[in-house]
Chain A
Amino acid sequence: MEALQHLSDGFAVALAPLNLSLALGGVVVGTIVGMLPGIGPINAIAMLIPLLFAVGLPPESSLILLAGIYYGSQYGNSISTILLNVPGTASAVVTAIDGHAMTKAGRGGEALALAAVSSFVGGTLSVLGLVFLAPALASWAIRFGPAEYFALMVFAFSALSSVSGKSVARALAATGLGLFLATIGMDPNSALPRFTFGQLRLFDGLDFVVVTIGLFAVSEVLLVLEQTEWAGAAASRYGRVTVRFRALMASGWSMARGSVIGFFVGVLPGAGGTIASFLAYSVEEKMAGDSGRFGDGDERGVAGPEAANNAAANGAMIPLLTLGIPGSGTTAVLLGALLGLGLAPGPLLIERNPEVFWGLAASMYVGNVFLLLLNLPLVGVFVRVLRLPRWVLMPGVAALSFVAVYAVNQSAFDLVLMAGFGLLGYTMRKTGFPLAPVILGLVLGPLMEKNLRRALALSGGEWGVMFSSPLAVALWVLAAAALVLPWLLNVRRRARFRAAR
């Protein structure tokens, strides 16, 4: 019952007028960026970070806003998916199958309402999980020493590498790039400048906001330049955005299952909303058996995945807040923001900054209510944003990128860096390199190096310390398994393919 007491304190934080309006603003921005293909929550969060630093909001208020963008985007992504068959983010890809089929059958409004309700169920159920699981995980993680932390971060990287792309080699290279970028600048231990090439401007290291906006937002602008089709062209008629009570009841269990699947997949590093929604879809398909009309506009094919990707977003907050380990690109950017705000996410966060953790948890309830209330009547307004021509939207994204990057240090040099990272990000996307490991490496790199050096300093340079506790060994085994397992499966699949031929 202690949790409930804390949660009611959290509501006092979340219901303060400032935090209430920030949660509302966050979920509106989140809905819009989640809906627009390409312009994801990563860009929006990265662009807001310098502004938050400038305004000097208290950490809990900043986090309420940024987290609102993150989970709000999981609502928004279903809108363009269902209406246009263009997923706003990867985690809504699977919703397209039945969601867009419903639109083609003239039931688009119903699909939108169902997606909103499912997202609400997934969002609120998983906050419940957050409230109970996070403190438990934190009190367990308090025993982590530097060696365990290092192993845990290695696990996060290998888990992300094994799921984030089809090619483990590309993911490894991307991780290496991120870790390398993290070492640029003055080494905090020895004051030795590394990879600065005598440039004073690089002594402080690369600002992760500059790198993130370059890699994600600017590269997106370049990527859209070569596409002919644009989602804004057509938004089909969708009818009234309501769903019949009976249909809701019929897919109630799908939402519940999706929420549970999504939550636990979200807690795992690397996995996240995309895998959660695909898993939920295939579970629904199997459960339905012959009664299913999957692919043909089955409600359960919308309810399950939409509940799952929202639950996954909230589940991913657990390792972020209690261990300080992000499992995806978006949570890595959130970690960067938290570190910049002077908060150190980790096992002590809940104890030391209860207003941050419980305030956030409570505000996630509030935010989900906002999202449900907004999404049902206001879908038409959001759809109008989708109709913006791209010659307005994409230069607008570019201009926002410029001011956000300039606001970090008031430096034109950062703008040049941003352009360089934009071209790099574009090239990496075109050649199939995942971008998330780069951001994860950039944010986690300094923490990893610190823990590694601390562990070895404590042991006097003896490497055995990295494997000295059963926990550390278990984490190393997990890390190795995450990396080797997909490769083994791939080899087996190829062998079977050859045998079949």
Chain B
Amino acid sequence: MPALRVRAPVVGAAAVVLAAAAIALEATTFDVMFPTDPLGPKAFPMVAAFLLAIGGLALLRDGLRGGTEGTAPPPAAAPATPVTGARTRILLATLSFIAYAFLLAPLGFVFATVLEFALLARLFGGTLVRGAAVGLAFAFLLYVLFVYGLGLPLPLGVFER
């Protein structure tokens, strides 16, 4: 996908500029004035939007010019050889994080964590069964530590009577 590769930095930079514009636009509605606070709540978000805009515009300029020094990500951030299917795995993992958030209360901490652990273990090249086994031990340990050791509540979910 050579076309996409050229445009990706431009799209990203444009997104940064758009975000800055949206923030600034929203900030213009913060119209409260106190005599003791001449600056008001508007100014600081504007500063943030300004920094985003400057950075975004500079990147946009570099991106449109194409291939200047500033555009290429620094080598330190360059990933090791990506594996095929990496994008799918990242998508799956992110979705599973969100699913975990919604399943935590109904399923309970231990059950939800075992499921998530098994799935992630699979994505990281382990097997579902071994992942579930390690996950069970780990989740149990965390549950005991948090609920009994630290007094922090974790949902019991399906084990609740």
Contact = CB atoms under 8 A, between A and B. Distances in A.
Q: How large is the interface on A (under 10, 10 to 19, 20 to 34, 35 or more residues)?
A: 35 or more
Interface string A386-425: 0001111011101110110011001011011011001100
A394 B139 contact: no
B121 A392 contact: yes
Contact of B117 (A166, A227, A395): A395
A2 interface: no
B150 interface: yes
Contacts of A163: none
Contacts of B49: 176, 180
Interface string A454-487: 0011001100000000000000000000000000
26 contacts: A167-B70, A168-B58, A169-B55, A173-B52, A176-B54, A177-B52, A180-B45, A190-B32, A195-B26, A195-B45, A222-B93, A222-B94, A227-B81, A389-B126, A391-B120, A391-B124, A395-B117, A398-B116, A398-B117, A402-B100, A423-B94, A426-B90, A430-B73, A456-B38, A457-B37, A490-B69
A223 interface: yes
Given A226-B83, A395-B121, 9 more contacts: A167-B59, A169-B54, A169-B70, A172-B54, A189-B37, A194-B41, A391-B120, A398-B117, A399-B135
Contacts of B41: 187, 189-190, 192, 194
Given A167-B74, A227-B79, A415-B97, A402 B113 contact: yes
With most chain A CB atoms within 10 A of its CB, the pick from B20, B40, B47, B130 is B47
Contacts of A392: 121, 126, 134
A453 B39 CA distance: 6
Contacts of B20: 176
Given A169-B70, A173-B51, A392-B121, A403 B104 contact: no
Nearest to B34: A190
Interface in B114-136: 116-117, 120-126, 130-131, 134-135
A399 B116 CA distance: 8
A429 interface: yes
B97 A418 contact: yes
A190 B152 CA distance: 34
A422 B82 contact: no
Interface in A207-246: 218, 221-229
Nearest to A408: B152
Contact of A430 (B27, B79, B101): B79
Interface string B27-50: 100101010111111011101111
B52 A176 contact: yes
A452 B134 contact: no
Interface of B: 9, 12, 16, 20, 23, 26-27, 30, 32, 34, 36-41, 43-45, 47-56, 58-59, 62, 69-70, 72-74, 76-77, 79-83, 86-87, 89-90, 93-94, 97-98, 100-102, 104-105, 109, 113, 116-117, 120-126, 130-131, 134-135, 138-139, 142, 146, 150-154
Contacts of A430: 73, 77, 79
A212 to B, nearest CB: 16
Contact of A415 (B47, B100, B122, B125): B100
A431 interface: yes
Interface string A177-198: 1011011000101101011000
B59 A173 contact: yes
A457 B38 contact: yes
Contacts of A55: 150
A77 interface: no
Nearest to A448: B44
B98 A169 contact: no
B23 to A, nearest CB: 6
With most chain A CB atoms within 10 A of its CB, the pick from B105, B116, B121 is B121
A168 B58 CA distance: 9
Nearest to B27: A194
Given A226-B79, A432-B77, A192 B100 contact: no
A92 B125 CA distance: 28
Given A189-B41, A227-B80, A392-B126, A175 B51 contact: yes
A50 B90 CA distance: 27
Contacts of A187: 30, 32, 41
A169 B54 CA distance: 7
B103 to A, nearest CB: 9
A403 B146 contact: yes
B101 A429 contact: no
B113 A170 contact: no
Given A395-B116, A399-B116, A54 B152 contact: yes
A62 B27 CA distance: 38
A415 B100 CA distance: 8
B138 A399 contact: yes
Given A172-B54, A173-B59, A399-B139, A429 B77 contact: yes
Contact of B89 (A168, A183, A225): A225
Contacts of A204: none
A180 B62 CA distance: 24
A403 B142 CA distance: 8
A351 interface: no
A491 to B, nearest CB: 11
A299 to B, nearest CB: 27
Contacts of B39: 452-453, 456-457, 461
A176 B82 contact: no
Nearest to A418: B97
B34 A189 contact: yes
A452 B45 CA distance: 13
Given A415-B97, A416-B101, A432 B74 contact: yes
Contacts of B83: 226-228
Contacts of A410: 152-153
